[in-house]
């Protein structure tokens, strides 16, 4: 029997699974799920939280306990330990940091509680948890780099990068993916790369300090999420630096939240690489399969694309339109 199925059966729900019950146990008991959420640092995160609250409902057979860990690694470890103490049926973790998970994952395993890692990646071996559902930041970073190469068509790039939170796989992957492409271009220089912590204030502060150091020297700004891009735009506006398809600076962002894509449609952000926060249905599917004792995907990457401003055609991205914006799920 599949190891993942054994793990599910091992946590005391085998009887329910074998009787063919669906998400809500037949005696009416809700499945108790604890979600250790990163925080509320970005619009992407708000959409992700909303998606979980809309999905893990009583109607669907769940009692969701969502803890906002406020981007604090210690608080997140404590939240997971509290879920273990409360004997949750399942624990979902969106890891703030990619490192340092082995001990608490072992504790969850010892307690027989299945763990699903969501959104971001962790360094722990896959045998330490039951399933993973999330995004591919390295690929996202590569997409940004490939699009930039295509758009520059051989022109020089002097690049400033506003990274996401230090130690988060979403930041590490986007940096690595973009750098891998940058290394193949002799005429690209990364002037500086600093963390803006995935927040608007962080993006603005980093951009203000970049402007002090590099004004007149850069023609590309890469922000690793939309909120950082909003902050960077404010800083450039204040300094009289123009960006976007009619400006001097090429602006790249990630997340494709509603406002981020509005800026693409308006030609202010050149390219916005998608990062899909709609993951809860996939996680619920995994849990329902575990409940039913069925096989499930141990690793699922959610679908992601990229969008570019009107007037730009790309092999790597879709040209933005109002119809696309109106039809977006988040
Ligand atoms: O890009 C950012 C958020 O982990 C993919 O976290 C997620 C990232 C997302 O704060 O806006």
* Cα-to-centroid distance, 121 and ligand 1 (Å): 12
Nearest ligand 1 atom, CA 120: 4
Residue to substitute in 39, 45, 229 for testing ligand 1 pocket (most ligand atoms within 8 angstroms of CB): 45
Burial of 301 (0-12, 13-18, 19+ CB in 10 A): middle
CB count within 10 Å of CB 106 equals: 12
pLDDT score for 12: 33
pLDDT at position 17 is 37
**pLDDT for 27:** 58
Tens-binned pLDDT, residue by residue, of the chain (330 aa): 333 433 333 333 333 333 334 455 445 699 999 999 999 999 999 999 999 999 999 999 999 999 999 999 999 999 999 999 999 999 999 999 999 999 999 999 999 999 999 999 999 999 999 999 999 999 999 999 999 999 999 999 999 999 999 999 999 999 999 999 999 999 999 999 999 999 999 999 999 999 999 999 999 999 999 999 999 999 999 999 999 999 999 999 999 999 999 999 999 999 999 999 999 999 999 999 999 999 999 999 999 999 999 999 999 999 999 999 999 988
Ligand 1 closest atom vs CA 39: 10
- DSSP three-state, residue 33: strand
Pocket test of ligand 1: the residue of 39, 198, 304 to mutate, having most ligand atoms within 8 Å of its CB, is: 198
Q: Whose CA is nearest to atom 5 of ligand 1?
A: 170
Q: Output the pTM of the full model.
A: 0.92
Q: Are 112 and 10 in contact (CB under 8 A)?
A: yes
Nearest CA to ligand 1 atom 7: 170
The count of other CB atoms within 10 Å of the CB of residue 88 is 23
Question: Ligand 1, from 143, 170, 178: best to mutate by most atoms within 8 Å of Cβ?
Answer: 170
- Closest residue (by CA) to atom 8 of ligand 1? 170
| pLDDT computed for residue 329 by the predictor | 87
Distance in Å, CA 10 to ligand 1 centroid: 33
Residue among 118, 119, 177, 275 to mutate when testing ligand 1 (max atoms within 8 A of CB): 275
List the one residue out of 176, 167, 234 whose CA is nearest residue 200: 234
Residues with CB under 6 A from ligand 1: 41-42, 44-45, 119-120, 135, 170, 198, 225, 254-255, 275
Chain centroid to Cα 167, Å, comes to 13
Give buried/exposed letters for 160-194 (b at 16+ CB in 10 A, else e).
bbbbbbeebbbbbbbbebbbebbeeeeebebeebb
Atom of ligand 1 nearest to the CA of 257: 11
Sheet of 318-319, strand order = 188-195, 157-163, 220-223, 250-255, 271-274, 306-308, 318-319
- Provide the pLDDT for residue 23: 54
């Amino acid at each position: 029997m599949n190891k993942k199925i054994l793990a599910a059966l091992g946590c005391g729900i085998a009887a329910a699974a074998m009787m063919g019950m669906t998400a809500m146990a037949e005696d009416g008991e809700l499945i108790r799920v604890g979600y250790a959420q990163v925080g509320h640092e970005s619009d992407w995160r708000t959409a992700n939280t909303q998606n979980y609250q809309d999905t893990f409902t009583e109607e669907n057979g769940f009692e969701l306990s969502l803890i906002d860990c406020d981007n604090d690694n210690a608080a997140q470890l404590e939240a997971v330990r509290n879920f273990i103490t409360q004997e949750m049926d399942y624990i979902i973790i969106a890891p703030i940091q990619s490192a340092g998970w082995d001990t608490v994952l072992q504790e969850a395993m010892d307690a027989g509680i299945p763990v699903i890692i969501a959104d971001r990646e962790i360094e722990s071996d896959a045998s330490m948890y039951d399933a993973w559902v999330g995004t591919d930041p390295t690929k996202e970073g590569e997409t940004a780099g490939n699009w930039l190469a295509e758009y520059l068509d051989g022109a020089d790039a002097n690049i400033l990068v506003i990274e996401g939170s230090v130690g988060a796989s979403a930041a590490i992957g986007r940096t690595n993916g973009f750098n891998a492409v940058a290394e193949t271009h002799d005429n690209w220089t990364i002037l500086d790369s600093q963390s803006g912590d995935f927040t608007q204030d962080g993006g603005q502060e980093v951009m203000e300090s970049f402007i002090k150091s590099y004004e007149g020297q850069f023609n590309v700004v890469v922000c690793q999420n939309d909120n950082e891009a909003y902050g960077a735009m404010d800083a450039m506006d204040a300094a009289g630096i123009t960006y976007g398809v009619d400006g001097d600076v090429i602006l790249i962002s990630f997340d494709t939240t509603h406002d981020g894509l509005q800026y693409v449609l308006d030609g202010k952000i050149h390219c916005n690489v998608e990062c899909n926060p709609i993951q809860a249905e996939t996680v619920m599917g995994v849990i329902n399969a575990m409940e039913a004792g069925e096989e499930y995907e141990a690793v699922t990457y959610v679908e992601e694309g990229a969008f570019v401003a009107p007037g730009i055609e790309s092999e790597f991205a879709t040209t933005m339109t109002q119809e696309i914006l109106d039809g977006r799920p988040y």
